[in-house]
């Protein structure tokens, strides 16, 4: 009997909420990763751009799905939730994606790569300090829009995640040049060597060799002794 009474009250409250009038729009951003490309005002403008007045309308006639679908088209948004609260507000809760790398190309706009492997637009108000991806293969990544679509893209995401999770590599690898043949060169923060990594395969083994090179060979031979380091060959470090 008590359970039935509770269910009745919940259902009654829900019906009342649907017939309430929207007093205001409240935007909340889940931004634990410090993405400052978008703020509450930007989200509010997107909500208000949907045809039909939202404020002063009954919640029963507001098209929640259309507003949500409009917001989900924005590449900076990872998740979108809409609901009306007991105060009569339309609450729009948006969680933002985190940029993982910046894609740069000559003669065309830059873009960001999110942790999920999606391409994100750059912002005029904020620049994220992340690794740089350059080279001719960047154009193809921008055309794909989603690195999860291809094996190469998936392997590249695995490599970027490996670098980010490693304290030494995340500080040392500044840029990755993506070549048309699928191979890549790493450009370091410290030192002038070009690190020929090859294709994004055997990632653990290649980075282990790179650490040996930095921590054992360079301290003995000098940081400016070598111009190129090749990690492609099994059980070898080729330096010239």
d(CA 104, CA 132): 7
Tens of pLDDT along 67-126? Answer: 899 899 988 898 999 988 888 899 999 998 889 999 998 888 899 999 999 999 888 877
More confident residue, 71 or 240: 71
Determine the distance from the C-alpha atom of residue 108 to the mean position of all C-alpha atoms in its chain, rounded to a whole number: 20
Q: What does the pLDDT average to over 172-201? A: 92
Res. 4: pLDDT tops 50: no
Mean pLDDT is lowest, of 2-11, 78-87, 157-166, 212-221, for 2-11
Phi, psi of 79 (to 5 degrees): -150, 145
User: How is the chain split into domains, by residue range?
Assistant: 2-96, 99-239
Percentage above 90 pLDDT, the chain: 44
CATH number at 2-96: 3.10.20.310
Res. 239: pLDDT tops 90: no
Contact (Cβ atoms closer than 8 angstroms) between residue 213 and residue 239 = yes
d(CA 161, CA 188): 17
Q: What is the pLDDT of residue 84?
A: 86
Strands (E), the chain: 24-30, 77-84, 89-96, 99-103, 111-114, 119-121, 131-134, 173-178, 184-188, 194-198, 228-230, 238-239
Give residue 142's pLDDT band: very low, low, confident or very high (50, 70, 90): very high
The pTM is what? Answer: 0.81
Res. 25: pLDDT tops 80: yes
Question: Comparing 2-96 with 99-239, is the CATH topology the same?
Answer: no
Class for domain 99-239, per CATH?
A: alpha beta
Give residue 233's pLDDT band: very low, low, confident or very high (50, 70, 90): confident
């Amino acid at each position: 009997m008590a359970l039935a009474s509770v269910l009745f009250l919940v259902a009654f409250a829900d019906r009342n909420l649907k017939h309430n009038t929207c007093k205001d729009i409240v935007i909340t951003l889940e931004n634990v990763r410090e993405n400052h490309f978008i703020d509450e005002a930007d989200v509010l403008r997107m909500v208000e751009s949907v045809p039909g007045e939202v404020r002063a309308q009954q919640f029963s006639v507001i098209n929640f799905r259309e507003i949500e679908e409009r917001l989900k088209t924005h590449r900076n948004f990872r998740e979108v939730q809409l609901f009306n609260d007991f105060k009569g507000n339309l609450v729009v809760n948006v969680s933002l994606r985190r940029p993982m790398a910046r894609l740069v190309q000559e003669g065309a706009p830059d873009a960001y790569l999110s942790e999920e492997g999606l391409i994100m637009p750059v912002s005029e108000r904020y620049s994220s300090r992340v690794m740089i991806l350059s080279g001719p293969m960047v154009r193809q990544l921008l055309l794909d829009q989603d690195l999860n679509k291809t094996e190469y893209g998936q392997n590249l995401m695995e490599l970027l995640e490996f670098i980010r999770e490693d304290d030494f590599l995340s500080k040392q690898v500044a840029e990755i040049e993506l070549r048309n043949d699928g191979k890549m060169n790493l450009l370091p923060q410290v030192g002038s060597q070009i690190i020929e990594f090859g294709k994004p395969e055997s990632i653990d083994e290649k980075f282990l060799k790179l650490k040996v090179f930095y921590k054992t060979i360079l301290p003995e031979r000098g940081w400016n002794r070598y111009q190129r380091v090749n990690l492609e060959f099994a059980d070898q470090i080729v330096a010239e």
